[in-house]
């Protein structure tokens, strides 16, 4: 996830993260290339769709309340759309032998994953920017989750930070 210093995951009401630094984009591409299963929400998928190229050996699972809406995009074993309950979905993917899942989603789906205690690590980029308004990384809720900083790296001169936290439930 990428946020501004004032904690915004979007700039104002703009739909994308084109404001993120080149270093963040490289970092994200590396994470994506190293992970065999990616999960995202329907809205994030629609926004990122033009950049997504299904590929053998990488499974992208899009969580949506209406999988039929995306039927034409489905690619067997590479791009699937599901409305399975989140815990069941994770169990199914674990049962298929996947040990690590990368969640690439916005505040609403993130909130559900945190509420269900399904996240064990946060990979966060903090960009040295302030937007004043925009979306959060977790939608309004009452959570009380402790984190432990695992790693911290300054990625460029301006001070983009790569942070990794372990989630302590």
What residue ranges bind ligand NAP (CB under 6 A)?
1-2, 9-10, 15-17, 41-44, 47, 63-66, 83, 86, 104-109, 112, 135
Q: Which is nearer to ligand NAP, 57 or 142 (CB)?
A: 142
- Do 11 and 131 meet the contact criterion of CB atoms below 8 Å apart? yes
- Determine the Cα–Cα distance for residues 138 and 111; give it in Å rounded to an integer: 5
Q: Which is nearer to ligand NAP, 59 or 111 (CB)?
A: 111
Least Å distance, CB 114 to ligand NAP, is: 12
Q: How far is CA 24 from the centre of its chain?
A: 13
Q: Which is nearer to ligand NAP, 9 or 160 (CB)?
A: 9
Least Å distance, CB 166 to ligand NAP, is: 19
Strand (E) or helix (H) holding 87: helix 86-95
Least Å distance, CB 122 to ligand NAP, is: 11
Q: Report residue 84 as tokens.
A: 């399975």
Which residues touch 65 (CB under 8 Å, ≥6 apart)?
A: 42, 83
Least Å distance, CB 26 to ligand NAP, is: 15
């Amino acid at each position: 996830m990428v946020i501004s210093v004032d904690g915004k995951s979007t700039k104002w009401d703009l739909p994308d993260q084109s404001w993120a630094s080149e270093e963040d984009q490289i970092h994200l591409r590396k994470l994506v290339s190293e992970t065999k299963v990616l999960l995202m929400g329907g809205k994030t998928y629609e926004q990122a769709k033009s950049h997504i190229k299904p590929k053998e050996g990488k499974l992208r699972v899009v969580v949506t309340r209406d999988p039929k809406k995306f039927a034409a995009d489905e690619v067997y074993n590479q791009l699937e759309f599901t409305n399975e309950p989140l815990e069941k979905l994770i169990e199914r993917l674990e049962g298929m032998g996947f040990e690590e899942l990368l969640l690439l989603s916005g505040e609403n789906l993130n909130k559900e994953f945190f509420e269900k205690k399904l996240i064990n690590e946060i990979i966060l980029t903090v960009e040295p920017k302030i937007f004043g308004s925009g979306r959060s990384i977790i939608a309004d809720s009452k959570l009380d989750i402790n984190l432990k900083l695992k790693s911290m790296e300054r990625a460029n001169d301006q001070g983009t930070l790569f942070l990794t936290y372990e989630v302590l439930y």
